[in-house]
């Protein structure tokens, strides 16, 4: 009789546990679904808080440990040193893009074949000049219409995206305020309910912060250097839209082992095809110099902090960008670093069994 009572109690406890964790799982999925539209502002708020938390601690000491005031001042500082320059640069790039298009349109390159044929005389493409002159008028209108349509749609989408970016930026700053103010208590609460132990929670947090800092550091320093050098090369060789191409090269510099050569090599080939041989040689030589700089700086800034193999960094960065967009250049390496940390925990827990094998 007692045995049946004990068995019934065990069965009821198991059912109750399954029921409780089932409800908890469903409600957690519901919360994640509610937060899903704000994933990127929350993520970037967490990234920004991790990077600038030492600054917040200094302000916290300066304000005599006033959490709310310290968090508010930290957000203001970040707004002035990062967000305002970033939005200003974006506006300059858009204005220069419009100016570049107007300059090309006014030059008449799309209306007269003489401009293009004069470029190609004496080049390997010279035998095709008659065909170009014959078909240019037919296709010039289509080219002009296509570019005009692309520019209009781009400006329209930029205006729509800008409104969304402003809203998400406000959400990010609001979230950042509370990450500064209550972030430590949030982490302590998560650590309290986490079953893996404080030692490994600290290790995962350290890997997250070190990966974020090294990724952003490499993007700002390496991307800035490559964009600056690439812009100087374009200015020396007389290519229009230096600011636009410099910004593009900063962005593509995120990709390890690729980066600015994706822009410089095609530009050098085009220069060569147009008969601008010394400009082409300058671009090719500059590509080599930038690649050497990248190979020297990237392992120093990324690999040492993240403690990841360059191949993992390459695929995690590229895969992150393909899946998550621009934010993926941070999300991808973070996922890879956390995965390696969990593998380290697994190796520690099952060291005895693994060594026996």
Find all residues with CB under 8 Å of 43, minimum gap 6, and list them.
327, 331
How far apart CA 354 and CA 308 sit, in angstroms, is: 22
| Same structural domain, 203 and 110 | no
Q: Is residue 249 part of a domain?
A: yes
Together in a domain, 218 and 173:
no
Neighbours of 114 (CB within 10 A): 12
Q: Three-state SS for 141?
A: helix
Q: State the Cα–Cα distance between residues 21 and 18, nearest whole angstrom.
A: 5
199 and 145 belong to one structural domain: no
Map residue 319 onto helix, strand or coil: helix
The vertex-208 CA angle with 36 and 28, nearest 5°, equals 30
The range of the structural domain enclosing residue 296 comes to 195-349
Same structural domain, 203 and 156: no
The phi-psi region of residue 259 (left if phi > 0; otherwise alpha if psi is between -120 and 50; otherwise beta) is: left
Are 101 and 42 in the same domain? yes
What's the pLDDT at 33? Answer: 92
Q: Which residues lie below 8 Å from residue 194, measured CB to CB, with a gap of 6+?
A: 201
188 and 201 housed in the same domain: no
Contacts of 250 (CB under 8 A, 6+ apart): 223, 224, 226, 227
Single out the residue of 234, 223, 289 nearest to residue 259, CA to CA. Answer: 223
The C-alpha torsion from 228 through 315 and 214 to 169, rounded to 10°, is 80
Domain boundary residue, one of 178, 193, 208: 193
Listed residues 193, 212, 233: the one ending a domain = 193
State the Cα–Cα distance between residues 78 and 70, nearest whole angstrom: 12
Residues 209 and 170 in one domain: no
Taking the C-alpha atoms of residue 39 and residue 32, their distance in angstroms, rounded to an integer, is 9
Query: What is the C-alpha to C-alpha distance for residues 194 and 91, in angstroms, rounded to an integer?
Result: 45
For residue 311, what pLDDT is reported?
A: 78
Q: Are residues 99 and 150 in the same domain?
A: yes
**CA dist 321 → 24, 93, 316 (Å):** 32, 22, 8
Same domain, residue pair 42 and 102: yes
What pTM did the predictor assign? 0.69
As a whole number of Å, the end-to-end CA separation of the chain is: 47
Q: Residue-wise pLDDT tens for the chain (357 aa)? A: 555 555 555 576 777 888 888 898 899 899 999 999 899 899 889 888 888 888 999 998 898 888 889 999 999 999 888 877 777 766 666 666 555 555 555 555 445 545 555 555 555 544 545 555 555 545 554 555 555 555 555 555 555 556 677 888 889 999 999 999 988 888 888 777 777 766 777 777 777 777 787 777 777 777 788 888 888 888 888 777 777 777 777 777 777 666 778 778 888 887 776 667 788 888 888 888 888 777 777 666 665 555 677 778 778 888 888 888 878 878 888 888 888 888 877 777 766 666 665
Maximum Cα–Cα distance across the chain: 104
Split into its structural domains, the chain has a count of 2
Residues 121 and 132 in one domain: yes
How far apart CA 219 and CA 211 sit, in angstroms, is 12
Whose tokens are 């240019």? That residue is: 136
Do 160 and 199 belong to one domain? no
Of 144, 167, 193, which closes a domain?
193
């Amino acid at each position: 009789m007692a045995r049946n009572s004990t068995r019934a109690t065990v069965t009821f406890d198991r059912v109750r546990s399954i029921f409780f964790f089932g409800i908890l799982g469903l409600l957690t999925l519901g919360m994640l679904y509610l937060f899903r539209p704000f994933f990127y502002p929350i993520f970037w708020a967490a990234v920004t808080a991790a990077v600038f938390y030492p600054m917040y601690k200094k302000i916290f000491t300066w304000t005599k440990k006033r959490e709310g005031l310290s968090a508010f001042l930290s957000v203001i500082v970040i707004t002035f040193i990062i967000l305002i320059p970033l939005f200003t640069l974006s506006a300059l790039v858009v204005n220069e893009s419009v100016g570049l298009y107007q300059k090309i349109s006014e030059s008449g390159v799309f209306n007269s074949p003489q401009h293009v044929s004069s470029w190609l005389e004496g080049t390997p493409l010279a035998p095709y000049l008659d065909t170009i002159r014959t078909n240019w008028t037919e296709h010039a209108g289509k080219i002009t219409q296509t570019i005009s349509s692309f520019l209009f749609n781009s400006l329209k989408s930029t205006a729509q995206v800008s409104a969304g970016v402003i809203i998400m930026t406000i959400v990010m700053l609001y979230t950042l305020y509370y990450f500064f103010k209550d972030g430590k208590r949030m982490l302590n609460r998560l650590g309290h309910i986490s079953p893996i132990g404080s030692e490994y929670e600290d290790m995962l947090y350290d890997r997250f912060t070190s990966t974020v800092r090294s990724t952003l550091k490499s993007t700002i320093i390496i991307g800035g250097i490559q964009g600056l050098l690439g812009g100087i090369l374009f200015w020396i060789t007389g290519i229009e839209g230096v600011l636009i191409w410099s910004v593009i090269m900063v962005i593509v510099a995120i990709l390890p082992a690729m980066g600015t050569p994706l822009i410089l090599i095609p530009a050098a080939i085009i220069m060569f095809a147009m008969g601008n041989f010394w400009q082409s040689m300058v671009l090719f030589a500059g590509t080599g110099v930038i690649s050497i700089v990248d190979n020297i700086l990237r392992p120093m800034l990324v690999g040492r902090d993240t403690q990841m193999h360059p191949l993992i960094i390459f695929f995690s960065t590229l895969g992150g960008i393909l899946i998550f967009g621009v934010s993926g250049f941070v999300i991808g390496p973070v996922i890879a670093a956390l995965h390696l940390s969990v593998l380290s925990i697994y190796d520690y827990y099952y060291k005895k069994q693994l060594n026996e094998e």
